[in-house]
Chain A
Amino acid sequence: MTSQILQLVLGLLAMPAIVLAIILPGELAIRRFPQKRQSSLRPWIWLSPVLALVGLVIAYPLAASIVFSFRDATASKWVGFSNFVWAFGSAMRPVLFNNVLWIVVFPLLTAVLALSAAIMLDRVKYERIARTFLILPTAMSFVAGAVIWKMMYTYEPPMQPQTGTLNAIWTAITGRMPIAWLIDRSVNNYALIVVAVWMSIGVATLILSAGVKNMPRELVEAARIDGAGEWAIFRFVTLPSLWPTILVVLTTQAIFSLKVFDIVYVMTNGSFGTDVIANRMYTELFVKQNLGTASAIAVLLLILASPVIFMNIKQIKSGGGE
């Protein structure tokens, strides 16, 4: 136990210490240079700890994956583009449609709900409790989420008492047959998306709440005094000033949709027409043990994400302080 506490203290001290140890001497060192030289050197001094971290944990494995995608299952010899021929061929096509569904439905649903929540919560006095309710699902692990939602979606045969929450409500209200939420192909992908929305709203609301709290209040006040209605205020004041934040949420959720894995893996493992790209990658990596094809799928993900990435180019170009 003492070793754990020691490591905790070490970690807490090391994080700021590393940053200070790089930035402060760096700042002192460049002080001798002329102003112009200073401002061209400074960003790299500041960025160096970040680049080292991200370079090690992400850029290096990513680069390795790109190399591996041109090599065979055990990365022992070059195979040219054959992994990509496989990945872009018929193997992945059936699952691509599901990811398209995810990428259309999930970010929109999450953003709309989270935005409504952030705006509404800002106006009620029990804001903190309400927001805690919304974040609570995020505090649960995927294992727990799966347990919960299997209880929600439980299907008992018609005429039996329903032990699943949704089917109990559904049969009581409509008097119709219970629905096998995770099996019925007309609803099961949506059923999985609902789980993801349930787990993601909390953080999206937090981020949008942070945006709402930072909104220049004078604008809203001025609009209100001018007699603008709620909808007009939302449409012409709130939405434009929150747009960068909404874009952050949309981008993040779109990327999540592309690489969605845990929910599908634990709930259906891709059966009944619910398979997705990342689940395929997991299969290639850990079931078929083929590093080449798994890496090719990772590259495919990166390519599919490029529109999402470039969606943000406007923000960076217009942004930037001085």
Chain B
Amino acid sequence: MVLLKTEKTSRVPTLLSMGFVVAMALASSDRMVHAQAVELPKPLIDAAQAYASKLTGGQKIGGKVSILGVNGGRELDMLKAAWAPFQAATGITVDYTGTTDFAAVLQTRVQAGDPPDLAGSTNINNLMRYAKQGALKDIGAMVGEAAIKGKFDAGLVDAASLNGKIYGVWTELNNFMVWYNAHTYDGPKDSPTWEQFDAWAVKRANAGKTPWCYTDERGASSGALAGNWIQAYILKNSGQKTLKGLADGSVSWTAPEVKAAFEAFGKVAHDPKMVPGGPVAAMSTPAVKVGTGLFYEPPQCSVLLWGTYAGSLTTLIYPKVKPIEDLDFMPVPGTPENAAYETFGGTLYLAFKDTPQVKAFLSYLVSDEAQKLVASAGNWTVASQAVQPSDYSNPVLKRARETLLKPGVTLVAQPTQVVDPPVIQALWKGIVQYVLDPDSLDSVLQSIDAAR
């Protein structure tokens, strides 16, 4: 009796899971939906492969390059597609480990004496710290400074150098800008000052329509979006000196111009007339949904300040929205004398080992051929200035290259890329606190200073 009963009931979940597997198998054979590998333009691939094969003298030297980074999913797939010609030409395997626990894994492995060959860091702080510890190799010496200097923005090379040696190379980049719904944003578009831009927001708010999109929940990095917001504001309104000062510690977070930036942000984040749902909704809605309100029916907000990727995140949610046509962007408003400066984010490759494989891979990474290949993936702008606007097929990236990365623009690192992790954590947590409690600003700024 017992046996009979158990056999019958145990079959149900087994059948369920079997059915599930079968459904999945069917799904994968369904032609309507396709998970296709990333395909990059054939001519670019051939060019990159030809270049890569020169790096090892036409020989397949084999071996491995291990990389620890933060990319995963589709993004990693694009990068792998851009590295495929290198693997094919040199026989070197690129073994990439991508994780959101990047910092913890890197620190553990370095401490234990088992660092990866390369690390794809999203901040400069790692470069400074490990270079000072003597853990990093001089990339300038490895690939030749001529392959980097002149081809990359001077600000980028500068940011990756310590004591005259280049310890890192930038590849994928992104900028920070003001995105807007081209149909509902009726404010100034031709490099307005912040006051002009803000006047539009206030007017719209008074008309009963929330102008700003702002959502900033992201688990351990909640407040990061506002961090970008505030740093972009400081660069455009107070200037690069303040931003650099915050990075190197010569400017205090309690300085009046920094406080003014927090207050400008607070004016937006604290006011339910400025942000849909006000601060509580902002802090409980995922940051990746920040663009959702732009094309909600009816639209809940018209502008947002975030990185280049905000465009593709929004079109992911609204497949019918066309970049530029429906969803456009402009540089962050500010004073005219700061117009030629932009903040940026990106991936910085650091070398912990100097092997022929690492050398070949880094030489490949900084080459025009490889950079063009990454650009053609349509997900990032790239650091090399050899890549022209016409090399981008994605209109948003093309536009970003034309406006934010054009010759004459100086890229300035955000303090959050440079300062030690405790300061970043204090900043993000402080922002979260400030958003919910406007009166806490002074103590928040002091706590960021205290974390230095």
Partner of B9 from the list A128, A156, A267, A288 (CB cut-off 8 Å) is A128
Q: Identify which of residues 212-257 in chain B touch chain A, using a CB-to-CB cut-off of 8 Å.
A: 217, 219-222
Complex contact B219–A269 (CB within 8 A)? yes
For the complex, count residues of B whose C-beta is within 8 A of A. 31
Q: A155-B280, A157-B278, A271-B432 are in contact. Are A128 and B220 (CB under 8 A)?
A: no
* In the bound complex, CA of A283 to CA of B422 (Å): 8
- Indicate if B281 sits at the interface (CB-CB under 8 A): yes
Q: A146-B219, A265-B220 are in contact. Are A129 and B281 (CB under 8 A)?
A: no
* In the bound complex, CA of A185 to CA of B88 (Å): 56
* In the bound complex, CA of A125 to CA of B436 (Å): 51
* In the bound complex, CA of A139 to CA of B222 (Å): 27
Q: A160-B277, A271-B429 are in contact. Are A155 and B285 (CB under 8 A)?
A: yes
A interface footprint on B93-131 (CB within 8 Å = 1, 0 otherwise)? 000000000011001000000000000000000000000
Complex contact B285–A125 (CB within 8 A)? no
Complex contact B276–A157 (CB within 8 A)? yes
> Can you name the residue of chain B whose Cβ is closest to the Cβ of A265?
B220
Partner of B436 from the list A128, A156, A183, A270 (CB cut-off 8 Å) is A183
Chain B residues closer than 8 Å to A231, beta-carbon distance: none
Partner of B421 from the list A127, A160, A288 (CB cut-off 8 Å) is A288
- Indicate if A286 sits at the interface (CB-CB under 8 A): yes
> Can you name the residue of chain A whose Cβ is closest to the Cβ of B100?
A143
Complex contact A183–B276 (CB within 8 A)? no
Complex contact A183–B433 (CB within 8 A)? no
* In the bound complex, CA of A132 to CA of B13 (Å): 8
Chain A residues closer than 8 Å to B277, beta-carbon distance: 156-157, 160
- Indicate if A30 sits at the interface (CB-CB under 8 A): no
Chain B residues closer than 8 Å to A266, beta-carbon distance: 219-220
Chain A residues closer than 8 Å to B421, beta-carbon distance: 286-289
Q: A267-B219, A287-B422 are in contact. Are A129 and B9 (CB under 8 A)?
A: yes
Complex contact A287–B281 (CB within 8 A)? no
> Can you name the residue of chain A whose Cβ is closest to the Cβ of B133?
A74
- Indicate if A126 sits at the interface (CB-CB under 8 A): yes
Chain A residues closer than 8 Å to B432, beta-carbon distance: 271-272
Chain A, interface SS category: loop
* In the bound complex, CA of A128 to CA of B421 (Å): 48
* In the bound complex, CA of A125 to CA of B2 (Å): 10
* In the bound complex, CA of A125 to CA of B5 (Å): 7
B149 shortest CB reach to chain A, Å: 32
Q: A146-B219, A287-B422, A288-B422 are in contact. Are A125 and B429 (CB under 8 A)?
A: no
Chain A residues closer than 8 Å to B146, beta-carbon distance: none
- Indicate if B378 sits at the interface (CB-CB under 8 A): no
Chain B, interface SS category: helix
> Can you name the residue of chain A whose Cβ is closest to the Cβ of B105?
A286
A interface footprint on B408-438 (CB within 8 Å = 1, 0 otherwise)? 0000000000000110010001001100100
Partner of A271 from the list B6, B104, B278, B433 (CB cut-off 8 Å) is B433
Complex contact A286–B104 (CB within 8 A)? yes
* In the bound complex, CA of A127 to CA of B286 (Å): 38
- Indicate if B284 sits at the interface (CB-CB under 8 A): yes
Complex contact B286–A157 (CB within 8 A)? no
B interface footprint on A148-168 (CB within 8 Å = 1, 0 otherwise)? 001001111100100000000
- Residue from A126, A180, A267, A285 whose CB has the most chain B CB atoms within 10 Å: A180
- Indicate if B163 sits at the interface (CB-CB under 8 A): no
- Indicate if B10 sits at the interface (CB-CB under 8 A): yes
* In the bound complex, CA of A150 to CA of B9 (Å): 33
* In the bound complex, CA of A159 to CA of B7 (Å): 50
A interface footprint on B1-38 (CB within 8 Å = 1, 0 otherwise)? 00001100110110000000000000000000000000
* In the bound complex, CA of A265 to CA of B222 (Å): 11
Complex contact A287–B425 (CB within 8 A)? yes
- Indicate if B261 sits at the interface (CB-CB under 8 A): no
> Can you name the residue of chain B whose Cβ is closest to the Cβ of A143?
B100
- Indicate if B48 sits at the interface (CB-CB under 8 A): no
Chain A residues closer than 8 Å to B284, beta-carbon distance: 153-155, 180, 182-183
Complex contact A156–B281 (CB within 8 A)? yes
Chain A residues closer than 8 Å to B373, beta-carbon distance: none
* In the bound complex, CA of A150 to CA of B286 (Å): 9
* In the bound complex, CA of A267 to CA of B429 (Å): 14
A69 shortest CB reach to chain B, Å: 17
- Indicate if B294 sits at the interface (CB-CB under 8 A): no
- Indicate if B405 sits at the interface (CB-CB under 8 A): no
B18 shortest CB reach to chain A, Å: 14
> Can you name the residue of chain A whose Cβ is closest to the Cβ of B108?
A286
- Indicate if B283 sits at the interface (CB-CB under 8 A): yes
Q: A128-B9, A157-B276, A289-B107 are in contact. Are A183 and B220 (CB under 8 A)?
A: no
Chain A residues closer than 8 Å to B107, beta-carbon distance: 286, 289
Complex contact A271–B425 (CB within 8 A)? no
* In the bound complex, CA of A265 to CA of B100 (Å): 13
Chain A residues closer than 8 Å to B6, beta-carbon distance: 128
Q: A266-B219, A266-B220, A287-B425 are in contact. Are A157 and B281 (CB under 8 A)?
A: yes
> Can you name the residue of chain A whose Cβ is closest to the Cβ of B429?
A271
Chain A residues closer than 8 Å to B278, beta-carbon distance: 157
Chain B residues closer than 8 Å to A182, beta-carbon distance: 284
In the complex, 25 of the A-B residue pairs with CB atoms within 8 angstroms, ordered by the A residue number, are A125-B9, A128-B9, A128-B10, A132-B13, A146-B219, A150-B217, A153-B284, A154-B285, A155-B280, A157-B277, A160-B277, A180-B283, A180-B284, A183-B283, A183-B436, A267-B219, A269-B222, A271-B433, A272-B432, A272-B436, A286-B107, A286-B421, A287-B425, A289-B107, A289-B421
10 new A-B contacts at CB < 8 Å, known A157-B280, A269-B219, A283-B422: A128-B13, A129-B13, A150-B217, A266-B220, A267-B219, A271-B433, A286-B104, A287-B103, A287-B422, A289-B421
Residues of A within 8 A of B (CB): 125-129, 132, 146, 150, 153-157, 160, 180, 182-183, 265-272, 283, 285-289
CB-CB nearest 10 A-B residue pairs: A157-B277, A269-B220, A155-B284, A286-B104, A287-B421, A157-B281, A180-B280, A288-B422, A266-B219, A128-B9
